[in-house]
Amino acid sequence: MDNISIDELHDLVQDMGENNLILDVRSPEEYSAGHIEGSQNTPHEEVSGISEDLKAYDNVYVHCKMGGRAKMASEALINAGLDNIVCVGNGGMERWMQMGWPVNK
């Protein structure tokens, strides 16, 4: 499993191809309060249920608020047989918002 920081994800977002997915594994309430444009929300405890769908992507960037749930979700997806998972840590959505980067609500 690859690991990157939320800062690295921010740098990748602008040039991200359509066959990449940003998977936000926070709760629906957290997601609706502000999320990265184009991201998909699936709570971390439910990601195994969408593992087949995620196989279609080149890379799936898994993030949460701080990094803990992203790590759990990433491990669950790796255990489900996926090899395209990138775990985003070092701050997560909390840092994204602190930096004033754009969010959708």
Secondary structure (DSSP) of 55-103: TTSSEEEEE-SSSHHHHHHHHHHHHTT-S-EEEEETTHHHHHHHTT---
Tell me the pTM: 0.97
**Residues whose CB falls within 8 Å of the CB of residue 90, separated by 6 or more in sequence, listed in order:** 5, 6, 7, 67
Alpha-carbon gap, residue 93 to 63, rounded angstroms: 7
Domains of the chain in start order, with CATH, are 2-98 (3.40.250.10)
- Residue 90: what pLDDT? 87
- Residue 5: what pLDDT? 96
CA 49 to chain CA centroid, Å, is 16
Q: What is the pLDDT of residues 38-91, one digit of tens each?
A: 999 999 999 999 999 999 999 999 999 999 999 999 999 999 999 999 999 988
Alpha-carbon gap, residue 104 to 83, rounded angstroms: 29
The sign of the dihedral angle between the CA atoms of 51, 44, 35, 11 is negative
